[in-house]
Structure 1
């Protein structure tokens, strides 16, 4: 097979993973770029061709651009050079890149080629390595240990040859204190450990052990007690004396933690049992070894014996089995992973679950187990699917939407309500509500406030939104999210308000259920989906899990523990007020706040915090944090979407109207109402024979009936009246279908093409 070199070169240029810039070396003008260059700069090809090549790059070192220009003009070695930056057009930022410059000797002129490789990931890796090295140096500088050397003669007398100066910082006693001999050393050992220590050392030396480790307590001059590990190396000399070299290390922190761990083991187990997440341990072959009570409830099991020992794969839908097995294998190989699959309860009910898996290492077993934390996200997935379906319907036709689309006049009386919205939100037909005050459809306790807000409408911004409640004709209550805008005439006079109302009753119930659930949400195990933290009143983080660190943009919990809580608050006063609330109430639940991540970006979090005291009476705070930024974004997207589509419909220049199957007008936009000289509420219910000459009205009726009977789109040019003047218009008529596909009416769009045809 013969390959076209030109086509091969073009393909390589387009598919290259590096950014490629082809330019004129003489004028430095960019001539062509590949898709990677467009992606890295955030700029289109057309815009990039407007710039000289030197505008796109900057050097981190002096005279860097001079070196670039020299490489442009003369063939030489300029390969894989670091220290250069590529401009991001719309963000005002720069990307570190590695540059290679080539001169392409082609006809009729020599061209230049800059190859730029994105070095951000390498830079981040280098920064992390430098931070790790700095942390290692810091740890080494604060290690608590001291060295000593002792000789024991055959009679058992010990002579101290050396003790490091750090012994004073370690024991509170100078090196000279220990020259008195073994008794001086034994005097600082805790009385309860002294006899056991002497017995252990005698037995080890009698057995001629060369490596001896003993753990005991020492008492400082101020009475404080420290735990130490004494690691001895014994050398048995020919003259029957023994050379002992030792390292004494302060293990107070780890020993205290070990004892605290024993005390908290049962506490942690209780937390796992009460967490609202499914926590389970799985063997490498898929056997379920353990599951908490929440997990049993989610899958519909009455007790552990029903599921322990069985394979976890029985609980997964057959279609997702290959994916869940691959996920399980990755975790058992030591990776962390996340997956969303369809599961089945013991009763066969369908669930959508989100699983996060991590290896669980067991001492003495080289093969890790699988620790899996699962969350039932069925309702969230259903809500997302419902949102997508709702937006698609809203985009198609206003009159078939499930939202309430409405207008009120300057007196606060309904002037327009879509039929589906009236039936669903008000429990009546539009004709029963139009002309009546909108306040009649509000709960009595809200009417006075709503009337006051409406009186302020002429002075408010054009666009606004709020949450409210409507009363249906049968007395039931509907919670709604209102997106609306004020209406003004050509002189700017306030003439009313128009907007849409979305039913959020289900969402309110979901939020209430979520709030009740999150009130008891306390997850203290690592690798959980929620962030756990513990801090003191001064803002020092005492403990947190990996999820908390990731939420705030840190690579690990060790990294975030060195940061004070004030760093995360956008407003320091907010933390002061939160501490006052905790002092007064003892706990806060479902507290939403804006927090700053490590990179400066902001996230919304939902927090539950409790004020506690330890055995010494010291106050500390313990809580959980959940990232709700996505939920906030979805809520904002809903409001923006509804405003956008309503504004689009009202501001189109084309005339648009809807008719029902009786061919009566049920809705129209502003341009059409102007063309017939009527307001929308005056137009509703009329037919073409009420608006046009009989010949035109009959023609329009025949076309409408054709669309209804055939169920197909109709496009044509025909005459139309505009203020008693006949004009030529382009018309598109299409059947209006309901949710089941049934034809409910006719949608028509037309515009004036008289001047176009005159040309």
Structure 2
């Protein structure tokens, strides 16, 4: 049996570079460790000649393996003077590093790099050269920037709604909230984050909210209530419709509570007046949660929300996979199926009223039906949102479908949504607004209001928008419109669109047609 030679220990990297490494397993391991390191590594002598490099270094700088022994400045003749100075400092014994350094390329592109330079020493203690460690972090930096932009746009959209939105963790501490909720509590958003209700509200109010939140976290069941809400000083501040739902991660674990509160004080007062007048208008102002469903091309239910399941008196599992003939009475099925076939055949969204009977009870619904499409635009079925227009309640449902399904559901909302830049050009809008204007979305993007609406009407809107973007304030207002084929009374909220640094880069507008409600109020006043 041959005797295994004892490994030779080398006093320094220079010795490793000039010795036959095949005689030393340690040298082989060290060279392979450098060669296959997951980051760019290059080792130089005092003359900045390459002694060793990793594959990653060659890959990052698009080099070949025949650079060993060559000067770094020969390989990169355009090395800036500042880098030569850094190299010399490190060759003199200094360390240098930068966690995120931007390197522009000659072609106009650039890369973010995390780099570190350290000297290596001979056995005598003298500096034998330097080691450069380099990691390309461009993708990470881009991901961070994309996340900041996404969060900024999300906050801008949240702050453009008149509702109050808060998110708490399982300990009851506020994770985030919109500016409306912060204003309601009489504090800045930053003063609320990280605190719980006991630190912000009177004891009895905090105890009430904590009990409600813990019930959501424990049961995992959504709740929707009409209630009086108290501000931070304990004063009742109106009647609100509050929806609380568990905040879950992608695995379904409950992380806390999401709460959305809509101020329905005015509507509740109108309902009270309508009850005293005993008129049919009561059915318009009374509100119930929306019912949401998805069907495939054969008319089978793919999914439904719990509100619809509860209304039908069935569980979701009892509905999924069935068609309307197995759920509704025969006298309404033919009409429903005819409308569904029309939507899936034409590919058009329709909003219409329909009467559905359950036993002796007849209810009128306002239904929006739209084609359900995949990422390529192929029609897979239809999506329906049904609202009980006896109550006119605003509903919030948490649908966790794919991005394509979610986009289709958003497109079926009856509200009109628009985003404009600082020049008033349309950046984005939903199909409902495009349909209201009477033009395809592609014909509106990039244009200002005076190019797509009557001149005087367009100038009026642009003046309103400039005021919002100049003051930076959110504004909610009602307006009667009769121009360019658009007629009715609308409730509009306009808010500045800001980038992640807080700079105003445009405007977000959400408009709702409240003509029916205003007509109801007018009829009441005449009595």
TM-score, normalising length: structure 1:
0.28
* Greater RCO, CA 8 A, separation 6+: 2
Q: Report the TM-score when normalising by structure 2.
A: 0.37
Bigger CA radius of gyration: 1
